[in-house]
Amino acid sequence: MRQKKKSELLTEVELEFMTELWDLGEGTVRDVLDQLPEERNLAYTSGATILRILEQKEFVTSRKDGKRHVFKPTLGKDAYQTRSLKDLSMKLFDDTPASLVARLVNDDALTEEALGQIRALVDRRLKNDSG
Amino acid sequence: MRQKKKSELLTEVELEFMTELWDLGEGTVRDVLDQLPEERNLAYTSGATILRILEQKEFVTSRKDGKRHVFKPTLGKDAYQTRSLKDLSMKLFDDTPASLVARLVNDDALTEEALGQIRALVDRRLKNDSG
DNA sequence: TTTGTAAAACGAAAGATTTCGTATTTACTC
DNA sequence: GAGTAAATACGAAATCTTTCGTTTTACAAA
């Protein structure tokens, strides 16, 4: 019996929609479509389908407001960020977060300012743990 | 005229194969299949197809060795790691690497040891830049 | 050379994701 | 209540990804 693998991860378009919902807090199909860039010409029904799928997968819930559905994430952006990082780390960094950061800080495109911020973050966390 | 969007990113199965090739350095279809876990029952021809696709997309090149093809990555794992991080950062972290690291170091699952390693990496990079 | 075996070439089925069209329903207005 | 504008419901076309079967080719051994 083959277990249906539920990926826990958003597809490309699902992420696109969740990103707008995270910004909005919640919203209707129309609200989300209005957030998308001009050049993204997506039919209204396509948007409705994506949100229907997100609800099936339980990434959002909906309530009714008049005749419309208002959709709202069940999973915070921060939680999904953590999940994505875990996935990337597993698939590409041998499940070793330090090596992920290593690759990041060795990227020449990274600014000194960003590096400083990163160090401050790490320091703060280390202090809190030990203090 | 719609521009064919070439994604630059590997699909799930493509990544699976590239990972083995990165480990091996190079290899035949058979070599790669032998690296895959036991329970991954993939027909030989499926493996051959994936490598053919990877060659079309120019993630690998091949040379002939007797009657076999030997495949070799054109893109290093480190370069692909950088590319993936850039993509994730753009899509989910507002193109701000520091916020990606913030999420990472705030993950409770992260060990103190990993944190220490991360700080060492950042320090070394900061020193090299200024020194 | 013939023959056997493994690989390559190719197309296409199977599966998943993305997009959309049609039909129906809903709430509002008169 | 009937008309209307906008939303939902649903299925399915279009596209992309993954898997595999069939046929052809290449090499090796007798």
How do residues A47-98 score in pLDDT, each as one tens digit? 999 999 999 999 999 999 999 999 999 999 999 999 999 999 999 999 999 9
Angle A89-A95-A98 from CA coordinates, rounded to 5°: 80
Residues whose CB is below 7 A of strand C = A 7, 11-14, 41-43, 45-46, 48-50, 53, 64, 66-67; B 28-30, 44-45, 48-49, 52, 67-69
Express each pLDDT in B1-23 by its tens digit: 334 445 799 999 999 999 999 99
Q: Is the entire prediction scored with pTM above 0.75?
A: yes
Cβ-contact B111, B67 below 8 angstroms = no
End-to-end CA distance of chain A: 51
Rounded Cα gap, residues A27 and A31, in angstroms:
5
* The pLDDT of residue B33: 98
Rounded Cα gap, residues B102 and A125, in angstroms:
9
Which residue of A lies nearest to B12 if distances are taken between CA atoms?
A: A91
Intervals of chain B under pLDDT 50: 1-5
Q: How close B109 gets to chain A, by Cα (Å)?
A: 10
Torsion of CA B104, B126, B113, A79, to 10 degrees: 0
Cβ-contact B89, A109 below 8 angstroms = no
C1’ C20 / CA A37, Å? 19
Residue A109: C-alpha distances to residues A58, B7, B97 (Å): 37, 21, 10
- The answer to whether A42 contacts chain B (CB < 8 Å) is no
* The pLDDT of residue A1: 39
pLDDT: which is higher, A1 or A74: A74
Rounded Cα gap, residues B128 and B131, in angstroms:
5
* The pLDDT of residue A131: 61
* The pLDDT of residue A6: 58
C1’ C6 / CA B65, Å? 14
Residues 6 or more apart whose CB falls under 8 angstroms from that of A123 comprise: B119
